[in-house]
Amino acid sequence: MDRNRSTLNGKGHALLKWAVYLVPLAFLLLFFLFPLARLMVYSLAPEGILDLSGFTKILTTPYYLEVIGFTFVQALISTGLTLVLALPCAYVFTRYRFPGKSLLLTLSTLPFVLPPVVVAAAFVALLGERGLINDALTRLIGLSEAPLRIEQTLTLVFIAHVFYNYPVALRIITAYWATQNEHIEQSARVLGAHGWRLWWRVHLPMLRPALTAAALLVFIFCFTSFGIVLILGGQRYATIEVEIYRQATGVFNLQVAAALSLVQIGFMLALMFIYTRLQRRNAASAELKSAAAVSRNPRGWREKIFVGINLLIMIGLLFVPLIALVIRAITFGGNGISFRYFAMLSTNPRGSVLFTPPIQAIGNSLIFASLTAALALVLGLIATWMISDRRSRFASWLDPLLMLPLATSAVTLGFGYILALGQPPLNLRSSLMLIWFAHTLVALPFVVRSALPAYGALPANIRESASVLGASPLQRFLKIDLPLMRRAIIVGITFAFTVSIGEFGASLFIARPESTTIPIVIYRLLGQPGAANYGQALAMSTILLLVCAAALVIIQRFRTPGMAEF
């Protein structure tokens, strides 16, 4: 009898475990794989019969070929500029010690966690026709018009792309460089290699894996750039991402939009596959070292000037636009400091393009971000448990499957939701839950990457002792694993909250008037004439900037030393 009861209990635990495992799998199936499959079917067979006219139109129309070509070219140029500026600064952070180094490296991550609409607003505040620089030049020289006109130009798009991706390249190159043997450089110097020869013959070959990985990731982000190109570049510089949005919402040519989406998905999946392989290879060959062990104080005036110039470039590129955004938000349109545009966020004047006051959009974003953080945490912990289960057959492929949403553009995802979730049995197009699920899908990989290293580092003896004392796997997970993973859980929740509150691409497709979020309001305000709209856009962007900055502080405070989330 006891044996039969034990057998039944064992089967019950196994069934319960697999029922729990199915939750994140079902979520991925319904809100990621199904919309992409529906998108593929619609682009290949819109009437139920194979029809490749959408792809034919793309490949035979010069305009679409130009869009695809421009997307590649602007991504290549942006990637090159980013690496050229980030590489010398990575050398500074790897090889030299200086006051404020740790703080500066931490703050350098802020641009990457900012929503694209905030980045665009920051550069408009600094370099736009009504920006600080034009305002200062106009008053200084006495001109009647702004002398610097780079809005709606590629120059501003490239600058914003470098700003956005500079921290990515800096982190990847610095982390890899710190693990390399510094005696190679010393030996090369003894043999007479100095200056450019040292860089060309020693540094660049040694850093080739890190440079390749950084270039791929930056290229992916620039290739799928949407908010920055849409706001700062305009329609005449349409990338594939912008063209998908225009075809789906402006022209209503859904078949061409679907075909463009598939083209982009194919490119992104191939690049993400190459990137993940490079990252695994780099991690396997890395020699763990302390950053302090390979750094020293700069010697002589040349090294001090080299360090100083790179730090000035970094501060000017990453922090001056953000400072300009805050200054412009509290000084625009008045003499001295004024918070009137923050006060105007609670109003909705007649004739506004917004159906709800901006303050309501702030409330919507906070609600969606809180719900997203909760759902992403539950799904992420289950996925972490499943990936770490060595007896699970799905562990080997669930981890890369969870990373796929990062390789899929938000615009493509939002378009897939319109096609797949707008009719029975999953008619969620008019439901507020659709935004919640879309945000959760994008935030889920961040929670998993935060929790997985912490779960793998848990002491095995403690968990084994709990099992010996009769604790079930669920009890062990709730009473032992979760308390020990507290720091990683806080990091994951903060990541999910930040990703949700700044999500723009998918929300622009599926948001309804009553579910408008902060990034959408900023985008609409920036696109409307009038000082009031522009001032409110600056005010909302500043609020979002402060939220992201607070989230970064929390992440750095609770992040486990020595564990990289990505």
Picking from 295, 93, 287, the residue whose alpha carbon sits closest to that of residue 180 is 287
Kindly report the CA angle at 113 between 111 and 117, in degrees rounded to 5? 75
Long-range pairs for 366-369: beta carbons < 8 A, 24 or more residues apart: 366/501, 368/435, 368/436, 368/439, 368/500, 368/501, 368/515, 368/517, 369/439, 369/496, 369/497, 369/498, 369/500, 369/501
**Tens-digit pLDDT string for the chain (566 aa):** 445 545 545 555 666 667 777 888 889 888 888 888 887 787 777 777 777 777 788 888 888 889 889 999 999 999 999 999 998 898 888 888 888 888 888 888 888 788 888 888 898 888 888 788 888 888 777 776 777 788 788 888 999 999 989 998 998 888 777 776 565 555 555 445 555 555 555 566 677 778 888 898 899 888 888 888 888 887 678 888 888 888 877 777 777 888 888 888 788 777 777 776 666 665 545 444 444 556 778 887 888 898 899 999 999 988 999 999 999 888 887 667 888 888 888 776 545 554 567 888 888 899 999 999 999 999 998 888 887 766 666 666 777 777 778 767 777 788 788 878 877 777 777 788 889 999 999 899 888 888 877 777 777 676 666 666 666 666 777 777 778 888 888 888 998 999 899 888 888 878 887 788 899 888 888 878 778 888 888 899 999 999 888 888 888 777 765 444 44
Amino acid letter, residue 205: P
Q: How many helices (H) and strands (E) does the chain have?
A: 30, 2
pLDDT at 161: 93
* Phi, psi dihedral angles at 423 (to 5 degrees): -150, 160
Q: Mapping DSSP to helix (H, G, I), strand (E, B) and coil, where does residue 182 land?
A: coil
Q: Which residues contact 43 (CB under 8 A, 6 or more apart)?
A: 54, 55, 255, 258, 259, 261, 262
* Phi, psi dihedral angles at 296 (to 5 degrees): -150, 170
Rounded Cα–Cα distance for residues 426 and 513 (Å): 21
Residue holding tokens 């390399």?
180
pLDDT at 468: 64
Count CB atoms within 10 A of the CB of residue 144. Answer: 5
Q: Which residues contact 417 (CB under 8 A, 6 or more apart)?
A: 31, 35, 428, 429, 434, 438, 506, 509, 510
Peptide bond before 425: cis, by omega within 30 degrees of 0?
yes
Picking from 410, 396, 424, the residue whose alpha carbon sits closest to that of residue 506 is 410
Count CB atoms within 10 A of the CB of residue 26. Answer: 11
DSSP string, 372-430: HHHHHHHHHHHHHHHHH-TT-TTHHHHHHHHHHHHHS-HHHHHHHHHHHSEETTEE-TT
Is residue 167 within 8 A of residue 156, CB to CB? The reply is no
DSSP letter assigned to residue 564: -
pLDDT at 253: 78
CA distances from 240 to 24, 151, 252, 269 (A): 30, 21, 16, 15
Domains annotated for the chain, with CATH where assigned, are 1-34+359-566 (1.10.3720.10), 50-111+154-182+199-300 (1.10.3720.10)
**Residue 11 CA from chain centroid, whole number:** 42
Beta bridge partners of 426: 423
Rounded Cα–Cα distance for residues 470 and 479 (Å): 13
Is residue 92 within 8 A of residue 144, CB to CB? The reply is no
Picking from 169, 265, 281, the residue whose alpha carbon sits closest to that of residue 219 is 169
pLDDT at 512: 80
| Residue 83, both tokens | 């690496």
DSSP letter assigned to residue 469: T
pLDDT at 371: 94
Is residue 551 within 8 A of residue 494, CB to CB? The reply is yes
Q: Which residues contact 163 (CB under 8 A, 6 or more apart)?
A: 111, 119, 123, 317, 318, 321
pLDDT at 302: 84
| Residue 467, both tokens | 């099992």
Rounded Cα–Cα distance for residues 414 and 511 (Å): 10
pLDDT at 286: 47
pLDDT at 416: 82
Rounded Cα–Cα distance for residues 286 and 181 (Å): 10
**Residue 132 CA from chain centroid, whole number:** 28
| Residue 240, both tokens | 């594939």
pLDDT at 290: 46
Share in percent of the chain as helix, strand, coil (round to 5): 75, 0, 20
pLDDT at 288: 43
- Total count of residues recorded for the chain: 566
Is residue 66 within 8 A of residue 236, CB to CB? The reply is no
Rounded Cα–Cα distance for residues 109 and 171 (Å): 8
Burial tier of 246 (Cβ tally within 10 Å: 0-12, 13-18, 19+): middle
| Residue 475, both tokens | 């009890």
Is residue 536 within 8 A of residue 358, CB to CB? The reply is yes
| Residue 388, both tokens | 């770490």
pLDDT at 191: 47
Rounded Cα–Cα distance for residues 178 and 89 (Å): 13
pLDDT at 484: 80
